Amino acid sequence: MTSKVFIKLLGLFILLLVFHTLVMEILFHRFVEHAAGGTLRLLGREAFWSGLIALGVALPVAAWVALRISGRLHRIMEFARRVAAGDLTARLDKTGEDELTPLEAALNQTAERIGQDIAELESGRRELAVMLDSMQEAVVAVTAEGQVRWSNAVMQRIAGTQIRPGRSLVHSVRDPELLACARSALERRELCFGRASTLAPGKVFEVNVAPLPSGGALMVLHDVTGIEAAQQSRREFVANVSHELRTPLTSIQGYVETLIEEPRPGPEATREFLGIILKNASRMNRLTEDLLALASVESPDYKLSLQPSRASELVKDAIDSLGGIVVDSGIKLQFAGAPDALVMADPDAMTQVFGNLIENSLKYAKEGKRIRVGAREAGSEVEFTVQDFGPGIASEHLERIFERFYRVDKARSRESGGTGLGLAIVKHIVLAHGGRIWAESELGNGASFRFTLPLAPAQQTAAPAQTPAGAAS
């Protein structure tokens, strides 16, 4: 471009010379015409004036052209500075038609293209950020120097304000295993898998760190707390079942071996041993039955046949059907009153619930001499209660007794034929009804097991005929 400007100025200079030559030519003719009378002084003065006139005409023209060109160059420089500073909306105005015009057009086009490309990149970046933010996994990108380059919303929730671009990863997250994994991926340029358990309280993450072609690394953290807890619970469950089965099995095996090895066991001993074997076999039978019941109510396929049922009838049916097992115990099963409100319930499942609760009261609260079963309306629910007046349950056990295999007194539970699964089954059934269950007790003052069932929708409330509620024993 500068050479073109140079050529242009050179052209102007040549023009000036041609102009000067022309003037000299005219003067020369005048000199020849006046040669006789003229003198060399005259020639010198004429030459001087002609030069001065030529200069006086050419100089402003040259200055005007140079000023115009330098002005346009200045605008191009200004434009380049704005583009370099990131202002891609800058454009050069069309000021004429010469050698600089195509250059100005090309520069305008380039700025427009870069602007479009950057807008596309920016929209792609925003889409990517939204996608990464909506992921369930936490994602962090680190530079080759181990500084946080970017992190998604999940990661920011986990690490809080500690994590931000430009901060070193070591100061952003403190989990040693995660940091070791990141270091290994950055230094050895290979994939690293690990586990972070101190990143957030009570949470466990599976960590995958992959080196990036740019030299940094990308870390993906997957929350496996739920999976871990489920696996742990499964391990505990299997261990508990094995333990519960092993005890009666060992006993059966021992007595059978004794009977086989004893050449002539007396009828008394044989009877006693067979009695023990039967007791243990029944225990195993109860356990398998409870395990099957638990598996059924815990299964996602567990279906209740819900129907609008009167609370008072549910309570009375429970008392009637379980009255038999109470007869010889010397304990009174009392009806504590119940409303006629309709609740959505599966009658068979309710028999299972009341059966387990009343059986427990019979087993663990004999001393109380009576068990009261009743219900009351509470807002949009009906609250059912099985209350005994036995030794009660210490507060630290109240929540845990609904866990599988949890027993306050293992020996006593086993002695009375318990499996430790009854309340877990009850809890699942109540939850499947959309209700809640809890226990209230004070040591020495008996225990109350309460559960709620939602009231039937208003349009069903008028359905069955009224049955008067009354006390029963």
Ligand X SMILES: Nc1ncnc2c1ncn2[C@@H]1O[C@H](COP(=O)(O)OP(=O)(O)O)[C@@H](O)[C@H]1O
Query: Using the rule CB under 6 A, which residue among 150, 335, 364, 451 binds ligand X?
Result: 364
Which positions from 445 through 464 interact with ligand X, judged by CB under 6 A?
Answer: 447
**Number of residues this chain uses to bind ligand X (CB under 6 A):** 21
Q: Which two tokens stand for residue 468?
A: 């008067």
Query: 379, 348 in Cβ contact below 8 A?
Result: no
Query: 233, 209 in Cβ contact below 8 A?
Result: no
Which positions from 403 through 432 interact with Mg ion, judged by CB under 5 A?
Answer: 422
Residue whose entry in the numeric block shows the structure tokens 């001065």 = 52
Work out whether 360 is an interface residue with Mg ion (CB under 5 A).
yes
Least distance CB 287 / Mg ion (angstroms): 12
Q: Which of helix, strand or coil describes residue 222?
A: strand
* Residue of closest CB approach to Mg ion: 422
Residue (of 141, 137, 200) closest to 165 by Cα position: 141
Q: Which is nearer to ligand X, 219 or 393 (CB)?
A: 393
Q: Which is nearer to Mg ion, 66 or 408 (CB)?
A: 408
- Cα separation, 3 vs 222, in Å, equals 64
Q: Which helix (H) or strand (E) holds 217?
A: strand 217-223
Which positions from 388 through 407 interact with ligand X, judged by CB under 6 A?
Answer: 388, 390, 393, 401, 407
Contacts of residue 256, Cβ cutoff 8 Å, sequence gap at least 6: 277
Half-sphere exposure of 176 (CA within 13 A, CB side): 0
Query: Using the rule CB under 6 A, which residue among 216, 374, 422, 435 binds ligand X?
Result: 422
Question: How many CB atoms lie under 10 A from the CB of residue 376?
Answer: 16
Work out whether 408 is an interface residue with ligand X (CB under 6 A).
yes
308 binds, among ligand X, Mg ion, none (CB under 5 to 8 A by kind): none
Q: Which is nearer to ligand X, 152 or 413 (CB)?
A: 413
Least distance CB 417 / Mg ion (angstroms): 9
Contacts of residue 443, Cβ cutoff 8 Å, sequence gap at least 6: 391, 392, 393, 394
Q: Which helix (H) or strand (E) holds 161?
A: none
What are residue 428's phi and psi, to 5 degrees?
-60, -40
Work out whether 413 is an interface residue with ligand X (CB under 6 A).
yes
Least distance CB 411 / Mg ion (angstroms): 15
Which positions from 119 through 148 interact with ligand X, judged by CB under 6 A?
Answer: none
452 binds, among Mg ion, ligand X, none (CB under 5 to 8 A by kind): none
Least distance CB 420 / ligand X (angstroms): 4
Q: Which helix (H) or strand (E) holds 370?
A: strand 370-378
Give the range of 146-154, 165-173, 244-252, 386-394 binding ligand X by CB under 6 A.
386-394
Q: Is 416 exposed, middle or buried (0-12, 13-18, 19+ CB in 10 A)?
A: middle
Least distance CB 409 / ligand X (angstroms): 6
Pairing assessment for the beta strands 138-142 and 217-223 based on DSSP bridges: antiparallel
Sign of CA dihedral 346, 454, 438, 300: positive
- Cα separation, 274 vs 258, in Å, equals 11
Residue whose entry in the numeric block shows the structure tokens 């109860």 = 286
447 binds, among Mg ion, ligand X, none (CB under 5 to 8 A by kind): ligand X
Which positions from 298 through 357 interact with ligand X, judged by CB under 6 A?
Answer: 356
Residue whose entry in the numeric block shows the structure tokens 């024993």 = 473
Query: Using the rule CB under 6 A, which residue among 315, 419, 430, 469 binds ligand X?
Result: 419
Give the range of 53-61, 122-130, 236-244, 359-367 binding ligand X by CB under 6 A.
359-367
163 binds, among ligand X, Mg ion, none (CB under 5 to 8 A by kind): none
- Cα separation, 6 vs 278, in Å, equals 117
Q: Which is nearer to Mg ion, 200 or 358 (CB)?
A: 358
Which positions from 2 through 21 interact with ligand X, judged by CB under 6 A?
Answer: none
Q: Which is nearer to ligand X, 20 or 286 (CB)?
A: 286
Q: Which is nearer to ligand X, 203 or 363 (CB)?
A: 363
Give the range of 39-47, 135-143, 360-368, 393-401 binding Mg ion by CB under 5 A.
360-368
Which positions from 182 through 221 interact with ligand X, judged by CB under 6 A?
Answer: none
For every residue of 46-96, DSSP letters joined together read HHHHHHHHHHHHHHHHHHHHHHHHHHHHHHHHHHHHHHHTT-TT--PPP--
Query: Using the rule CB under 6 A, which residue among 216, 418, 450, 455 binds ligand X?
Result: 418
Work out whether 248 is an interface residue with ligand X (CB under 6 A).
no
Least distance CB 300 / ligand X (angstroms): 23
Least distance CB 281 / Mg ion (angstroms): 20
Least distance CB 360 / ligand X (angstroms): 3
Q: Which is nearer to ligand X, 104 or 388 (CB)?
A: 388
Residue (of 111, 71, 67) closest to 95 by Cα position: 71
Q: Please, what is the Cα angle at 186 between 185 and 188, to 5 degrees?
A: 65
Least distance CB 406 / Mg ion (angstroms): 11
Work out whether 151 is an interface residue with ligand X (CB under 6 A).
no
Which residues sit at the interface with ligand X, rule CB under 6 A? 356, 360-361, 364-365, 388, 390, 393, 401, 407-409, 413, 418-424, 447
Which residues sit at the interface with Mg ion, rule CB under 5 A? 360, 422
